[in-house]
Structure 1
Amino acid sequence: MKPCKILRLYKLSHHRFLPFEFSRRHFSSLSHVPNQPSLPPPPPPSITPELINFSVKTAHWHFIKHISPNLTPALISSTLIHFRHSPDLVISFIQNIDRNSLTTECYCLAIAIASRQPSPKHALQLLKELINSCVSTHRGIFYGLVGARDALSISSWIVLDLLIREFCELKRGDEVMECFGLMKSMGVLPKIETCNCMLSMFVRLNMIDKAWDLYDEMFRLGISSNIFTFNMMINLMRKEGKLKKAEEFVGCMESLGFNPTVVTYNTIIYGYCVSGDSEGANRILETMRAKDIDPESYTYGVLINCMCQDGKIEEAATLLRKMEECGLVPTAVIYNNMIDGCCKNGDLEKAFDYRHQMEKKGIMPTVSTYNMLIHMLTLKGKISKADDMIKDMEAKKIFPDEITYNILINGYRNAGNAEKDFRLYDEMLSKGIEPTYVTYTSLINVLANGKRMKEADDLLAKVLEKGIRPDLVMFNALIGGHCADANIERALSLLNEMERMRITPDEVTYNSMMQGYCRAGKIEDAHRLLEGMSCRGIRPDYISFNSLICGYSKRGDMVDALSVRDEMLSLGMSLTRVAYNALIEGSCKHEGGCHAEGLLKEMVSKGINPDDSTYISLIKGVMNTG
């Protein structure tokens, strides 16, 4: 059938290019004559390469979509080859085809044609689709692209570079290296930009050995590095902590004719800052200046953060001034670092001063800015001022987050205001802010401190229902509360639950359990826990021993109490006033005070002054003896 005849038939059977069936029905209803039999509709034109090519050339994409389910891979491939010099049309054609109609061969032809565009965006997108469709292995795709390149008579191998780049984007290192190997076996080398993508992926994934292997292979194959390659290798050395080696590598760059950039030095400065070596970071800064490389905002930001972490606020302030003198505008992050440093140094006034400087320069404080200041206020017990900060935030349309609420809840918990804590919790929920395990841990602590253990257990159940995994701190709060409430059975069940969830108890857990046992008069059980701590590699502290000394002394088992005292001293631990008072009281009450005088002298010799409890026990002992 000739193209002109196809075109006439195509126009006749499509009113505004509607689908065949709709057009025939519409035409038949208008031309129907009553009492006269209707003629059978003409068959639709067959889908030929000529019809498809005409539709693509004239951009009749709705027609292509309509016939897409009926397109065979052979028809699609012939169309792609026909338009191999028109990548834009090929891309539009593929975008309007049902993906189920595309085979690996069709995809590879389309990718090879799309790779001839100035931008690789469409080729990479098609590669991602093909890889994720799992219709072919990575080797199948590789050889499919080789075949497509040959079929289209394309001289460039860029399509294989793009395949490696897409595997890099998908973080599939094994496929990357295998495709690299296949290219080498064909005598084709990837471009340096592709090699840089590979190196970048390995560096990001902390695959240090593979990055070095690739770099060595690049050198062996004679693939010339560029400044981006050198910068990535310096970043790799920074990750390894080999900062001196990184500095030497800069010298190698320069000997090869590559001048280090601000990024080169920023990487090394960041490495020194992360390792806590502010002197090393400052030395690199001076090297930059000596080579007329101007530091940028990032450079100063990293250094300022390093100084603040080291508590060197004055040095950080000097850098901030130098930064502004160079015409660089500090960011909110830099000011937040200054505020954080001042807060850690306990200088709340200076922290607020930096917040004021931010606003004066038109730099809007962030929620992190407020969180740091609110946290500092709660630590200093200035809860009402922390509330004022919340109002100030909301006035500036800066909304509190879960960290803000956690800080406030913890602050009010320390202040003993349980009612306010739960109001804040309800406020979080009403604003759609999801509480975190930190929130629930603070609330459980509030309930445990108030001996509201039924509510604490109910809250734990809610935490588990939400799929939040309780941590050690949360369990310790619950176990401590139940032990203080003399409910040792519930504390034991929680300890078993911890072990079921593979949360290792610590000395706080054991101390709470020991105190619970001692309160219940089960001193031997408490002593077994002390032995259990040692078996688990947890070193008992003075609280552990004090619990036993107090328990044995109260019960009158002075031999055992003094034995625990001796064990404590043999470990190089000093007794506290509480332990001495318990021993003196026990001796006076149960053995006529025979050890009381010696314990008092020992206590004073260690610089522990007796208090009222000590003298009351001694007086009672004398009276009982008399």
Structure 2
Amino acid sequence: MALFIACGESSSPVHIQILRFLYQTFDSIKLNVARIFSNSRTCSDDDNLPCTLNDIMSYVGDQCRSKTRHWFSNKDSDNEGNPQAVFNALDLILKENLDRLKTMRDTGPVRCTLETDYRRHVAVIRDLCLGGKIGTALWLRRKMIQKGTVPDVLTHNYLVNELCKIGDLEKADHVIREMSEMRPSPNCATYNAFITGYCRVNELDKALHLFSTMANNGIRPNRVTHNILVHALCKKGLLGDAVKFLGEVLADDDGKATSDVITSTILMDSYFKNGDKFQALALWNDMFQKNIQTDIVAYNVLINGFCLNGDISSAFAYFCQMLKRGFLPDVITYNTLLNCLCKQGKLDEASHFYGVLSKTGVAPDQISYKTIIQGLCIHGDIVKAREFLLSMLEKSVVPEPHIWNVIIDGYGRCGDLSNAFSIRDLMLSFGVSSNVFTFNALILAETRGASCNLGHIHLALQLYDEMLRRGITPDIITYTELIKGHCARGNMKEAEEVFAKIQTLGLAIDHIPFRILKKRYRRMKESDKARDIHQKWLLRNK
């Protein structure tokens, strides 16, 4: 009955009889179709069962005709006059519905497959962009377009953002132009990514021009757009232009828009870097008056600003204020204050503050260790610096090469060859490779150690040869220390050869090698050679 309703038929008595006939026929069809697809039988000539869709339809038609003839043979003579008309109607109904079922079977899964393929492809494009494989992502986008499906605007923004990140702004521009031509149209996020790309490569004029075209394209810039440009202007040292730009933006918006915490933080950081802490504090107070919610980043900028200006007392005062207002300091907060204490030579306070850091649940990072170790080495407390190094290793934190080199250099400056090489061996045992700075520190230890004072430089030369074997290119510091070592021994011929090698390699040379050679020649009372070295220095400046 549902079949007739679907076909638009009325429910007359004759139709009801026909429906009953159809139910009987469908029952017969179901039984035969079950036999057709039964796993216990195979199709053969003796079975006389259909094996294809056309055969099934033909078979169903035969069954309908047989049933119809039997049904009409028991009816009144009025109906016997035109049984073929009813039979043809039934045959047509069955065929149309079977065709509809076939179409649904063929097209339904196709639509589902296309939708699944689309979602999968755009997901792959986004993952490729995040993985830095922009070439493959663009290839997949092109293949999708060739097959008639275009990725959505979010997927295009992934592509534009990655292209701008790697500096391929020409290709990013090409993608955006294609978006404008064939859809989806670029949105504000698209332009923000493109503007960021120009700012990253210091093309601020193009970024500002792109900003000016957004309104013409029906796209309204948002706070992110403004903050990108304000940050770019401040980074370039154009603080006045940044303030003017922000003022124009707020004026164009009829006062509806206000600067947020990000904008204020950017400007405050720039004021501090320009040495204008009073203007920075005025901006900070203005944030509170306008009820702009501050955050940990704003406090970090404020504390760092005072540290840059050497005002450690104010930095700690706002650190305490941050704690009172419920903001928990992060590792950046601690590193900023730790660095300021070390620069001011307050090593005891720095060590105590490091202990506070460890007890607050904030784990020190490589910067924390580097700051305290470097500060201790600079001020000559190499023993305590080594203790921090061993503390790192006990906590399964393997220091970066710079930290090892700082300690090796500290021992080198003290002429402590034994401990310098001991740290280098420990460094290698933890899988950290030596670099040019490591060797320079060791050569420095050799040239300042007892061996060179006694006229022995062979260990320094062995280190130089080891550098070359390891494929490490010596720098000007390496050659300068070798010159110093040869001069300490009095072997001026070798010192001159190293000096000539510096000039042959085209290394940028400062005054130190000239001064070492000139000073040694004067001690040897060879004023002509000392004058010759001085002349080379004068000619070098020309």
Q: TM-score range by the shorter chain?
A: 0.5 to 0.7
Matches within 5 A, 1:426-465: 426-465=355-394
State whether structure 2 residue 391 is matched by structure 1 residue 467.
no
State the secondary structure of the residue aligned to 2:292. Answer: coil
1:200-247, Cα deviation, whole Å (9 max, x unpaired): 344334443553344344334433655555555544654564433443
- Maintained 8 Å contact 1:554/1:582: no
State whether structure 2 residue 222 is matched by structure 1 residue 296.
yes
In structure 1, the partner of 2:129 is 203
Letter of the 1:406 partner, please give it: N
Residue among 309, 320, 331 paired with 1:402 = 331
In structure 2, the partner of 1:497 is 426
In structure 2, the partner of 1:612 is none
State whether structure 2 residue 496 is matched by structure 1 residue 565.
no
Letter of the 1:530 partner, please give it: Y
Matches within 5 A, 1:29-178: none
State whether structure 2 residue 489 is matched by structure 1 residue 551.
no
State whether structure 2 residue 242 is matched by structure 1 residue 316.
yes
Query: Residues 552 and 391 of structure 1: is their aligned pair in 2 closer, same or farther, counting only changes over 3 Å?
Result: same
Query: Residues 412 and 191 of structure 1: is their aligned pair in 2 closer, same or farther, counting only changes over 3 Å?
Result: same
- Maintained 8 Å contact 2:440/2:478: yes
- How far 1:320 moved relative to its partner? 1.9
In structure 2, the partner of 1:529 is 463
Query: Equivalents in 1 of 2:104, 2:227: separation in Å?
Result: 44
Query: Residues 195 and 352 of structure 1: is their aligned pair in 2 closer, same or farther, counting only changes over 3 Å?
Result: same
Query: Residues 452 and 364 of structure 1: is their aligned pair in 2 closer, same or farther, counting only changes over 3 Å?
Result: same
Query: Equivalents in 1 of 2:157, 2:368: separation in Å?
Result: 43
- Maintained 8 Å contact 1:238/1:271: yes
Query: Residues 263 and 607 of structure 1: is their aligned pair in 2 closer, same or farther, counting only changes over 3 Å?
Result: same
Query: Residues 329 and 501 of structure 1: is their aligned pair in 2 closer, same or farther, counting only changes over 3 Å?
Result: farther
Query: Equivalents in 2 of 1:188, 1:587: separation in Å?
Result: 84
Query: Residues 436 and 190 of structure 1: is their aligned pair in 2 closer, same or farther, counting only changes over 3 Å?
Result: closer
Letter of the 1:509 partner, please give it: T
Query: Equivalents in 2 of 1:233, 1:369: separation in Å?
Result: 32
Letter of the 1:316 partner, please give it: A
Residue among 579, 596, 603 paired with 2:527 = 596
Query: Residues 495 and 338 of structure 1: is their aligned pair in 2 closer, same or farther, counting only changes over 3 Å?
Result: same
Larger Rg: 2
Residue among 110, 120, 138 paired with 1:212 = 138
- Maintained 8 Å contact 2:351/2:372: yes
Query: Equivalents in 1 of 2:295, 2:277: separation in Å?
Result: 18
State the secondary structure of the residue aligned to 1:486. Answer: coil
Letter of the 1:408 partner, please give it: L
- How far 1:422 moved relative to its partner? 0.8
- How far 1:560 moved relative to its partner? 3.1
1:405-435, Cα deviation, whole Å (9 max, x unpaired): 2122222222222111111112212322222
Query: Residues 196 and 546 of structure 1: is their aligned pair in 2 closer, same or farther, counting only changes over 3 Å?
Result: closer
Unpaired runs of 5+ residues, structure 2, are: 1-100
Query: Residues 487 and 284 of structure 1: is their aligned pair in 2 closer, same or farther, counting only changes over 3 Å?
Result: same
Q: How many matched pairs?
A: 428
Matches within 5 A, 1:177-576: 189-190=115-116, 196-223=122-149, 226-228=152-154, 230-235=156-161, 237-238=163-164, 241-256=167-182, 259-325=185-251, 326=253, 327-520=256-449, 521=452, 522-536=456-470, 538-572=472-506
Query: Residues 353 and 485 of structure 1: is their aligned pair in 2 closer, same or farther, counting only changes over 3 Å?
Result: same
TM-score in terms of structure 2 length: 0.68
Query: Residues 436 and 322 of structure 1: is their aligned pair in 2 closer, same or farther, counting only changes over 3 Å?
Result: same
- How far 1:479 moved relative to its partner? 0.3
- How far 1:322 moved relative to its partner? 2.9
State the secondary structure of the residue aligned to 1:276. Answer: coil
- Maintained 8 Å contact 1:565/1:575: no
State the secondary structure of the residue aligned to 1:483. Answer: helix
Unpaired runs of 5+ residues, structure 1, are: 1-152, 161-182, 609-626
- How far 1:437 moved relative to its partner? 2.0
1:311-332, Cα deviation, whole Å (9 max, x unpaired): 3323322232233332223222
Letter of the 1:505 partner, please give it: S
- Maintained 8 Å contact 1:270/1:281: yes
Query: Equivalents in 1 of 2:114, 2:490: separation in Å?
Result: 88
- Maintained 8 Å contact 1:246/1:268: yes
In structure 1, the partner of 2:56 is none
Letter of the 1:374 partner, please give it: I
Letter of the 1:218 partner, please give it: M
Query: Equivalents in 2 of 1:187, 1:511: separation in Å?
Result: 64
- How far 1:463 moved relative to its partner? 0.4
Query: Equivalents in 2 of 1:344, 1:265: separation in Å?
Result: 29
- How far 1:517 moved relative to its partner? 0.6
For the aligned residue pairs, the C-alpha RMSD in angstroms reads: 3.6
- How far 1:468 moved relative to its partner? 1.1
- How far 1:199 moved relative to its partner? 3.8
Letter of the 1:491 partner, please give it: A
Higher relative contact order (CA 8 A, sep 6+): 2
Letter of the 1:552 partner, please give it: H
State the secondary structure of the residue aligned to 1:606. Answer: helix
In structure 2, the partner of 1:111 is none
State the secondary structure of the residue aligned to 1:338. Answer: helix
- Maintained 8 Å contact 1:305/1:337: yes
Greater Cα shift, 297-306 or 522-531: 522-531
Query: Equivalents in 1 of 2:535, 2:305: separation in Å?
Result: 39
Query: Residues 257 and 568 of structure 1: is their aligned pair in 2 closer, same or farther, counting only changes over 3 Å?
Result: closer
- Maintained 8 Å contact 1:196/1:229: yes
Query: Equivalents in 2 of 1:322, 1:367: separation in Å?
Result: 29
Query: Equivalents in 2 of 1:379, 1:480: separation in Å?
Result: 27
Query: Equivalents in 1 of 2:512, 2:168: separation in Å?
Result: 51
Letter of the 1:215 partner, please give it: R
Query: Equivalents in 1 of 2:383, 2:414: separation in Å?
Result: 11
In structure 1, the partner of 2:26 is none
1:500-548, Cα deviation, whole Å (9 max, x unpaired): 4443434432222112111222422223333444555555444433333
- Maintained 8 Å contact 1:374/1:407: yes
Query: Equivalents in 2 of 1:578, 1:190: separation in Å?
Result: 69
